[in-house]
Chains A and B, each alone.
Chain A
């Protein structure tokens, strides 16, 4: 690589984080942090079940009525209690996966999330999901972008070389 190589324009990646599953949040955080470390402009749009990891773990009750509160029981806030999409073993799968990762020196997703924030990854909560599930900004972890809608996410995806739905 010589000095003659022209400076490439900054590339972009946008991920739609739809799933709240541990084994989907993990690659989302790995790809986001790595892309940002590689100089890409990265945005993650957290929607549907993917929004729950952004809720502070000390938030006891999520929901605006009986129905949404009941649904939230199955979507605990934060990364720590996120379930695997398979090999659940009544919640043990989560612990086993984390143990395996730790043995291999892989950071847990909540720590990769912090790395992402250090690397200026844009974290966009989905406004529609917040309204739907009764999640308010004060329930969420700090350092996020303003809540946005589908059109904003799409506008961003249209300008991204890489767009993923995880």
Chain B
């Protein structure tokens, strides 16, 4: 994965925090920046892609490492 502009660590946080933290960080980034979101809330599996689709940000890749969900997103 190319250089990350930011990492959102939402591990241990419940819905809706992963989405809120993701949105908050996305606001601070520039268009085209790629950032990583990490979450352990299983709701994030569908919530982060839903957030990306709703806001027009591009979900580049999602992965699962142990119980940590990882999402690489390109800021619109």
Please tell me if B17 contacts chain A, counting CB pairs below 8 Å.
Answer: yes
Given A1-B58, A5-B56, residue A37 in contact with residue B51 (CB < 8 A): yes
CA distance in complex: A30, B54 (Å): 17
With a CB–CB cut-off of 8 A, which chain A residues contact B16? Answer: 30, 33-34, 37, 112
Chain A CB within 10 A, most for which of B50, B51, B53, B56: B56
A38 on the interface (CB 8 Å rule)? yes
What residue of chain B has the Cβ atom nearest to residue A106's Cβ? Answer: B14
In the assembled complex, B23 has its CB within 8 A of some CB on chain A: yes
Question: Bound state CA distance, A64 and B27, in angstroms?
Answer: 45
The chain B residue with its CB closest to the CB of A116 is B20
A104 contacts the other chain (CB 8 A): yes
- CB neighbors of A among B30-68 (8 A): 41, 50-58
Given contacts A37-B22, A38-B23, A115-B20, contact A1 B13 (CB under 8 A): no
- Closest partner residue, chain A, to B24 (CB atom): A37
Which of B12, B13, B19, B24 is close to A34, meaning CB atoms less than 8 Å apart? B19
* Count of inter-chain pairs, beta carbons less than 8 A: 48
Across-interface contacts of B58 in A (CB, < 8 A): 1
A7, A38, A101, A105: the one contacting B54 at CB < 8 Å is A38
> Across the two chains, which residue of chain A brings its CB closest to B76?
A1
Residue of A nearest to B53 (CB): A1
Interface magnitude class on chain B: 20 to 34
Residues from chain B with a CB closer than 8 A to the CB of A107 are 14, 17
> What chain A residues lie within 8 Å of B56 (beta carbons)?
1, 5, 7-8
Across the interface, which residues of B come within 8 angstroms of A142, CB to CB? none
Chain A minimum-CB-distance residue to B22: A37
Checking A7, A105, A115 against B13 with a beta-carbon cut-off of 8 angstroms, the contacting residue is A105
Which A residues between 4 and 31 are near B, CB-CB below 8 angstroms?
A: 5, 7-8, 30
Contacts A33-B20, A105-B41, A115-B20 given; does A38 touch B55 at CB 8 Å: yes
A107 to B50, CA, bound (A): 21
B-binding residues in A (CB < 8 A): 1, 5, 7-8, 30, 33-34, 37-39, 101, 104-107, 112, 115, 119
9 CB contacts below 8 A, A to B, read A1-B58, A30-B15, A34-B16, A38-B19, A38-B23, A38-B55, A39-B54, A106-B17, A107-B14
